[in-house]
A and B are shown apart, each in its own frame.
Chain A
Amino acid sequence: MDSRPDDSRRRFMKGAMWVISASTLGTGVMMAPTANAAPSLTEYKPVFFTPDEWAFVLAACERLIPADETGPSALDANVPIFIDRQMLGDFGQASDWYMKGPFMEGPAELGFQSPLTPAQTYQKGIAATNTYCRQTFSKSFAELSPEQQDQLLTQLQHNELKFDGVSAKQFFDFLLQNTKEGYFADPIHGGNKNMEPWKMIGFPGARASYLEWAELHNVKYPMGPVSLNGDRG
């Protein structure tokens, strides 16, 4: 299939691009190209995680979205910074969730029933995983080989490790969910550095104005992303 637009369509698209840029600029978004430079992961000081926990989060994120030629890794995208910031926020503290007892186990279909907040689940889950790794391999999770780390993460995902006081699967589920969130959420939340994950897939971020494009069928949208802060990718 030939997806290239013909000449008249290309001319229209150039016009449309100009229209969209102008209207986006006109809505009060700051467009300074160098604003809001993302921090460097190596210089970032976690606000929630201890050094041990931080080492785990860095190592786990690297395996969940690894570095390769396809696109940015979770570490390239500052995903650990996103997760760290989530822990002290409403999500980490389960502020919006019903957390009153009694807590009882039930069928999986009745959903989350843990008395632990996500932040507590991370703390207990990381400690339990590291204890298991030290007992089994005499190393912490972060010190294992990538293959061993993948194996451990798979065991957590399938609830094959039984920990006291925390569900391995619940811990893994939060970790994976938050890693993907940090990868694709607006950079204002700490991850998605320079919108590289958005650029990899072709998501234009917060542009939020496409009327001119709705009826252009089977044509790849050509504009790069913008963020809530008005940065352009």
Chain B
Amino acid sequence: MARQEKPVDVVLVGLGWTNSIMGMELAQEGLNVLALERGEDRDTVPDFAYPKMADELTYGVRYKLMAKPAKSTITVRHSLTETALPYRHLGSFLPGDGVGGAGTHWNGHTWRPMPEELRLRSYVEETFGKDIIPADMTIQDFGVSYDELEPHFDFFDKVMGVSGKAGNVNGEIHEGGNPFEGRRSSEYPLPPLKRTFNDELFTNVAKEHGLHPFPLPSSNASEAYTNPYGMQLGPCNFCGFCERYGCLNFSKASPQTCILGALKQHKNFSYRANSEVLKVELADDKKTAKGVTYIDKNGEEVFQPAKIVIVGTFAYNNVRLLLLSGIGQPYDPVTNTGTVGRNYAYQMMGGATLFFKDKFFNPFIGAGSNATTVDDYAINQIDFAKEGFIGGSYLLAAQTNGQPIRSMPLPAGTPSWGAGWKKATKDYYGHSMSISSHGSNMSYRDCYLSLDPNYTDDHGLPLLRLTFDWKDNDIRMTQFMKGKVEALAKGLNPDHLNISFKDFGAKYDVRPYQTTHNVGGAIMGTNPKTSVLNRYQQSWDVHNVFVLGSSSFPQNLQYNPTMLVGGLAYWTAKAIREQYLKQPGPLVQA
């Protein structure tokens, strides 16, 4: 029999970016808000303090801040007929846990989606015709427009203190920014970061090719800054310990640095760490939730009553919680019925490493978002009918770190050990830069999430199963980008050039790190037959359950997801504050 806690107005499941935002918005509304976080409590001091953060082995290689597969993992298979096997140690993607979630150990790349990406199926059909969409490709519109989200993007920019150069302010194109981006209502709150040597080389070659280079929008603060919540950021000092690390310098935007310090001042907000939610408990009619059941830090089962449940954990964990709770109908790819688990998507990356014997890059002088980019091959710039694929990439020359265990690029053909390997590390460390492609991934009928029949967690509950593999459409996209990247790289005349892009027949591989931008499975949309959530990220089936995060995306962006995840959280918060609290019930009639 579970112990029962005192009821609250709102229970937040998870305490990363989305539920920090939601906590602030609903605490401001005067509601009694409680967050339950599966992992440990974390703050800049003492958890991210110098010098202990500058430890590549502990954080960069052994993943101290990430979710532990021993406690929580998924299983993976390539197709419907295979047996899925557990993702036993981390590689391909690195979910966070603990207070702040993945928002503590990200790099800070802060892109808005393109307006066209939020209505992708409509954009493709209107522009190129329905026929170019492959039969098994299940791309959809989000059901919310860029213009509706723009005020929230603008505010989240200011909360995070994003450093960058706008390319489109109220429809006016500005030199030095991204000319292809959606309309912004204001310039970035902070100017771009300082430019490192790789930025200079990439900018020059991109301009020679007629492209439009600009600084990557960065949530690594370029100057001292105070955000709308009164939280203070310090200027980034290019320490080179961003991705996989908490920021030791109060410079990288995170829930801790931007929201939680202010949120904790609200007496009607509280949180409990080491509290793992196992289930959202439904009323008998299955139309509303009563609260959640969780395991507390002592291993005791607790029922937490609440009037509203906001699920804001890492993307695929949201999907698992819905499946374990019986919210919505599980998706079946064979009959193409049900919705929960549908439209999982990942991202398609590729890259080139350029080696220059006589150039010094000092790669340890880095920041997570220290990069120059071009968006000339974005989704709204490519003729899909002509090129034969749907999708796009931005290209970037980034210098994020020079940590030598995991950031030791060597020319292709170098021995992996012995005297030749050692000599190459001495000759080439610090003498290379990269140009990468960060691309979209479309959704497909047979790429989805479900409960695994064979493997369980410590509580005996089934793990989540991912069925996913690469499709030719997305391979054609990355091969197109390969040509563009190769031309730019050769334009810089490197002494050696390594090129790595996926080719036809490539299988999804869980071993090398690719990106943590997993999306879908609990997608938003306009039709309850093809989406789990309505346009306000509210469950179609259980109206007092809202689900936040990139699990809402019907297909993946070509960009990093945090800005869209945060913008959607503010959009949902506004709907709850202005509509739902006055009249609880479905915000959209099915």
Query: Which residue numbers of A lie inside 8 Å of B, CB to CB?
Result: 1, 3, 27-29, 63-66, 68, 70-71, 90-91, 94-100, 102, 104, 106-113, 150, 153, 157, 176, 179-181, 184-186, 188-189, 197-198, 200-211, 213-215, 217-221, 228, 230
Contacts and interface: CB of A to CB of B under 8 A. Distances in A.
B365 A221 contact: yes
Contacts, number: 193
Nearest to A227: B51
Contact of A202 (B69, B195, B429): B429
Given A186-B56, A208-B50, A112 B239 contact: no
B419 A211 contact: no
A221 B362 contact: yes
A196 to B, nearest CB: 12
B194 interface: yes
Given A100-B455, A110-B510, A217-B200, A201 B88 contact: no
Contacts of B88: 97-99, 111-113
Q: Of residues B54, B70, B86, B241, which shows the largest number of chain A Cβ atoms within 10 Å of its Cβ?
A: B86
B496 interface: no
Contact of A95 (B70, B364, B404): B70
Interface in B339-393: 358-360, 362, 364-365, 370
A211 B238 contact: yes
B55 interface: yes
B128 interface: no
Contacts of A198: 404
A44 to B, nearest CB: 19
B417 A218 contact: no
Given A29-B51, A111-B511, A201-B429, A185 B86 contact: no
Q: Of residues A3, A113, A217, which shows the largest number of chain B Cβ atoms within 10 Å of its Cβ?
A: A217
Given A203-B364, A218-B197, A68 B422 contact: yes
A208 B83 contact: no
Contact of B68 (A96, A210, A217): A96
B362 A213 contact: yes
A134 B421 CA distance: 29
Contact of B360 (A95, A98, A189, A218): A218
Contacts of A99: 70, 88
Nearest to B57: A185
16 contacts: A63-B418, A68-B419, A94-B89, A96-B70, A110-B77, A110-B85, A110-B510, A113-B86, A113-B88, A185-B56, A189-B57, A201-B426, A208-B239, A210-B239, A219-B362, A220-B362
B360 A219 contact: yes
A97 B70 contact: yes
A202 B241 CA distance: 17
B456 A100 contact: yes
B507 interface: yes
Contact of B423 (A70, A176, A188, A211): A70
Q: Of residues B91, B239, B364, which shows the largest number of chain A Cβ atoms within 10 Å of its Cβ?
A: B364
A200 B426 contact: yes
A113 B241 CA distance: 31
A109 to B, nearest CB: 4
A99 B458 CA distance: 11
B248 interface: yes
Nearest to A175: B417
A73 to B, nearest CB: 8
A203 to B, nearest CB: 5
Contact of A206 (B54, B238, B360, B417): B54
B504 interface: no
Given A90-B62, A98-B70, A109-B508, 11 more contacts: A96-B62, A96-B63, A111-B87, A112-B88, A181-B61, A189-B57, A200-B425, A203-B403, A206-B51, A208-B240, A211-B236
A109 B429 contact: no
Interface residues of B, number: 71
B237 A210 contact: yes
Interface in B27-65: 50-57, 61-63
Interface in B69-95: 69-70, 73, 76-78, 82-83, 85-89, 91
B527 interface: no
A188 B78 CA distance: 41
Contacts of A176: 416-417
B148 interface: no
Contact of B85 (A27, A28, A106, A230): A106
Contact of A204 (B196, B364, B417, B419): B364
B56 to A, nearest CB: 6
A148 B510 CA distance: 34
Contact of B405 (A70, A157, A185, A209): A185
B402 interface: yes
A150 B57 CA distance: 27
A215 B195 CA distance: 6
B116 to A, nearest CB: 32
A28 B454 CA distance: 51
Contact of B86 (A98, A200, A207): A98
B430 interface: yes
Contact of A228 (B55, B235, B370): B55
B95 to A, nearest CB: 13
A51 B508 CA distance: 42
A217 to B, nearest CB: 4
Nearest to B239: A208
Nearest to B405: A184
A97 B70 CA distance: 5
A214 to B, nearest CB: 4
Contacts of B455: 100
B509 interface: yes
A81 to B, nearest CB: 14
A86 B402 CA distance: 23
B360 A220 contact: yes
Nearest to A172: B417
Given A109-B508, A110-B85, A110-B510, A205 B54 contact: yes
A188 B364 CA distance: 19
